[in-house]
Amino acid sequence: MKIAGIDEAGKGPVIGPMCVGGVLLDESASNVLKNLGVADSKRISPKKRELLAGQIEKYSRRVFILEVSAAQIDELRKLMSMNEIMVLAFSKVLGQLHPDKAYVDAADVNEKRFGIRLLEEYRKDHPEISPDLPVISKHQADAIYPVVSAASIVAKVRRDELIEEIKKDIGIDFGSGYPSDPKTKKFLADWYHKHDNLPEFVRHSWKTAENVIKRDKKP
């Protein structure tokens, strides 16, 4: 049986893209992932994540990563909620893998609802897919299922690469890109004050970005 795991990296940051990783493998290979030490990407060092990403590629039938830019997220948020964006993005990844069974990290407070909506969206583009396709949608699935842990790792490694590329291009270390990061907030404030705008790799629809603009505009 071919199984897929799907997870995201970068749903919450104000800077940079969101990456949705998908890993397709034979169910029997799950034990190989366990033996490699695959786990929730947040609990693994960056160096080990990079090493594991290469091993995951080796033992998987397919690895696919969908990159959703900050500008794309801003445009989509004019039409739908972030949860709906997640359904759409996960569906695109599922459509690249075509598993017999899927395990996904639920991007909704209601994990069962997320799985149902994901399958419905997937079948819009692939009506030949059975409505009974097993889609196991769980919170913290990356800590439960090795195939989702693997997806979490490849997504995180790719997002980190893209963030480092941005830093190199502009010659500024803006930290993690998360709203709670003081270095990120300082970067946004300094950039807006200097340029009177925010760069395209920033999610302008985030409250953090909106607040930077409001504060700068105050007399």
pLDDT at residue 46 tops 90: no
> How far is residue 52's CA from residue 154's CA, in Å, rounded to a whole number?
8
> How far is residue 73's CA from residue 205's CA, in Å, rounded to a whole number?
8
The tens digit of pLDDT for each residue in 102-128 reads 999 999 999 999 999 999 999 999 999
> How far is residue 34's CA from residue 80's CA, in Å, rounded to a whole number?
37
User: What is the number of other CB atoms lying within 10 angstroms of the CB of residue 68?
Assistant: 20
From the options 1.10.10.460, 3.40.50.300, 1.10.287.70, 3.30.70.270, give the CATH code of 171-217. Answer: 1.10.10.460
Q: What angle do CA 4, 42, 76 make, to 5 degrees?
A: 65
Q: Which fold has domain 2-165?
A: Nucleotidyltransferase; domain 5 (3.30.420)
The per-residue pLDDT for 217 is 67
What are the angstrom distances between the C-alpha of 202 and each of 76, 209, 217? 14, 8, 18
Domain with CATH 3.30.420.10 in the chain: 2-165
> How far is residue 11's CA from residue 205's CA, in Å, rounded to a whole number?
13
pLDDT at residue 216 tops 90: no
Strands 101-105, 2-9: pairing kind: parallel
User: What is the number of other CB atoms lying within 10 angstroms of the CB of residue 157?
Assistant: 23
pLDDT band at 82 (very low <50, low <70, confident <90, very high): very high
Count, residues in the chain: 219
Domain with CATH 1.10.10.460 in the chain: 171-217
Helix extents (H) in the chain: 30-36, 46-59, 70-77, 82-97, 111-125, 146-170, 182-195, 207-217
The tens digit of pLDDT for each residue in 120-174 reads 999 999 999 999 999 999 999 999 999 999 999 999 999 999 999 999 999 999 9
